[in-house]
């Protein structure tokens, strides 16, 4: 089923009306894909009151013609921004919303020069991102498929976790298997860490070999039909010490508490606190060094953020990660991460990979 691009543009126009903006310009690939379906890496979408135009270059003429819905396609030479500026010179409205976070100073100067002095530039941060934060049923179905692939790949690589394997070898196997399963690529650089390196939340895979009696952290994500999944599991090679098993139980309990707190109307920071409180009681809060989670969708990091002090209220259709962790320098780390969608009455997990503490 084709995504409702025209409906999304109308929702954006309603936002622009409230913000007293006549048009909106995005150069961010995830945002223009969300609004018109173009998946090329070079483009600019101008959404006006009564229409939209996708500007791109000759490399994407055929692709844009096949993909774009709800917008006129203009293929230009000499850069898309001068063409956008020329259009704005003659448009009926002069107040143009831009995404400051997705526009360099050089690009803004180029736009201002091309559009002339009559245009007023309005900084509208996260305007499209707020719309993207609430997924429709079609998006959730796509994300379930991505999650299913990620979980299947995790199950496949478990048998490869043996003493002597290198971190980079496991990372390569994970990414190969995701692509073989239909993914266009990894959602982020696959994290594989062994032993004391598991204390690095964002460890980069190295040539380090796995030894007996060590922790293993796998953090993987696939992009399937444009949507991401994000999954982390921690296992142990050998018989884990009681301390490590206790840490794992605490992390899993923290995730469960967060899942129970996840529901419409709850502030995002309260979900973070639900997990943090469990680790606090276990004497492990000081080792939980990042926020609980983040939104997920066309990008691996989206709104809303499940972080300390965040006041944003959750809504049905939000898809977030729940990823509490404990990281002790010189010893190792444990993280369990799942993807969850906020429903009308609570939350539902999209990822279903085994959460038991596996001792291989």
Indicate if 123 and 206 belong to the same structural domain.
no
In the three-class reduction of DSSP (H, G, I as helix; E, B as strand; rest coil), residue 73 is classed as: strand
pLDDT of residue 193: 99
Residue 356 lies in a domain: no
Indicate if 147 and 110 belong to the same structural domain.
no
51-56 vs 72-75, strand pairing mode: parallel
Q: Is residue 339 a contact partner of residue 147, using CB atoms and an 8 Å limit?
A: yes
Final residue belonging to a domain, choices 96, 112, 132: 132
Residue 266 C-alpha from the chain's centroid: 21
CA atoms of 167 and 178, how far apart (whole Å)? 17
Residue 360 lies in a domain: no
CA atoms of 272 and 323, how far apart (whole Å)? 10
Residues ≥6 apart with Cβ < 8 Å to 50: none
What would the DSSP string read from start to end of 86-120? HHHHHSS--EEEE-GGG--HHHHHHHHHHH-TT-E
Indicate if 77 and 212 belong to the same structural domain.
no
Indicate if 190 and 333 belong to the same structural domain.
yes
pTM attached to this predicted model: 0.96
Indicate if 169 and 254 belong to the same structural domain.
yes
Residue 67 lies in a domain: yes
Q: Is residue 152 a contact partner of residue 181, using CB atoms and an 8 Å limit?
A: yes
Query: DSSP class of residue 55?
Result: E
Final residue belonging to a domain, choices 132, 155, 174: 132
In the three-class reduction of DSSP (H, G, I as helix; E, B as strand; rest coil), residue 343 is classed as: coil
Alpha helices in the chain (DSSP H): 5-18, 29-36, 61-67, 80-90, 105-115, 127-132, 137-157, 167-180, 242-261, 268-281
Owning domain of residue 33 = 5-132
Residue 242 lies in a domain: yes
Residue 357 lies in a domain: no
Indicate if 223 and 119 belong to the same structural domain.
no
pLDDT of residue 1: 72
Q: Which of 346, 328, 348 is nearest to 338 (CA)?
A: 348
- Each residue's pLDDT expressed in tens, for the chain with a length of 360 residues: 789 999 999 999 999 999 999 999 999 999 999 999 999 999 999 999 999 999 999 999 999 999 999 999 999 998 999 999 999 988 877 899 999 889 999 999 999 999 999 999 999 989 999 999 999 999 999 999 999 999 999 999 999 999 999 999 999 999 999 999 999 999 999 999 999 999 999 999 999 999 999 999 999 999 999 999 999 999 999 999 999 999 999 999 999 999 999 999 999 999 999 999 999 999 999 999 999 999 999 999 999 999 999 999 999 999 999 999 999 999 999 999 999 999 999 999 999 999 999 999
Half-sphere exposure of 242 (CA within 13 A, CB side): 0
CA atoms of 319 and 306, how far apart (whole Å)? 11
- In degrees, to the nearest 5, what angle opens at C-alpha 134 toward C-alphas 132 and 135? 85
| Structural domain total, the chain | 2
CA atoms of 297 and 295, how far apart (whole Å)? 7
Residue 358 lies in a domain: no
pLDDT of residue 59: 96
Q: Is residue 257 a contact partner of residue 278, using CB atoms and an 8 Å limit?
A: yes
pLDDT of residue 47: 97
Q: Which of 341, 308, 330, 333 is nearest to 191 (CA)?
A: 333
Indicate if 206 and 294 belong to the same structural domain.
yes
* CATH of residue 213: 3.90.230.10
Indicate if 253 and 123 belong to the same structural domain.
no
């Amino acid at each position: 089923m084709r995504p409702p691009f025209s409906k999304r543009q109308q929702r954006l126009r309603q936002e622009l009306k409230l913000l007293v903006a006549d048009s909106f310009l995005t150069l961010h690939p995830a945002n223009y894909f969300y609004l018109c379906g173009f998946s090329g890496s070079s483009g600019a979408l101008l959404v006006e009151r009564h229409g939209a135009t996708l500007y791109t270059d000759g490399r994407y003429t055929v692709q844009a013609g096949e993909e774009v819905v709800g917008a006129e396609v203009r293929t230009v030479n000499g850069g898309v921004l001068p063409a956008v500026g020329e259009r704005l010179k003659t448009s009926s409205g002069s107040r143009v919303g831009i995404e400051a976070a997705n526009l360099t100073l050089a690009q803004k100067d180029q736009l201002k020069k091309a559009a002339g002095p009559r245009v007023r530039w309005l900084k509208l941060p996260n305007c499209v991102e707020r719309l993207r934060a609430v997924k429709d049923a079609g998006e959730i179905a796509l994300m379930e498929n991505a999650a299913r692939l990620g979980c299947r790949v995790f199950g496949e690589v478990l048998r490869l976790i043996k003493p002597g394997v290198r971190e980079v070898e496991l990372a390569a196997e994970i990414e190969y298997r995701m692509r073989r399963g239909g993914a266009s690529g990894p959602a982020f650089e696959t994290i594989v860490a062994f032993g004391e390196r598991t204390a690095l939340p964002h460890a980069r895979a190295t040539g380090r070999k796995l030894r007996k009696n060590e922790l293993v952290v796998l953090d993987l994500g696939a992009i399937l039909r444009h949507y991401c999944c994000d999954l982390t599991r921690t296992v142990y090679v050998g018989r884990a010490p009681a301390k490590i098993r206790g840490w794992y139980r605490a992390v899993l309990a923290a995730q469960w508490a967060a899942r129970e707190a996840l529901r419409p109307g709850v502030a995002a920071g309260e979900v973070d606190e639900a997990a943090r409180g469990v680790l606090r009681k276990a004497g492990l809060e000081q080792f939980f060094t990042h926020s609980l989670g983040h939104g997920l969708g066309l990008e691996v990091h989206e709104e809303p953020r499940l972080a300390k002090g965040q006041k944003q209220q959750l809504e049905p259709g939000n898809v977030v990660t729940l990823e509490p962790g404990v990281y002790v320098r010189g010893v190792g780390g444990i993280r369990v991460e799942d993807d969850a969608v906020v429903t009308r009455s609570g939350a539902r997990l999209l990822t279903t990979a085994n959460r038991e503490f596996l001792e291989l």
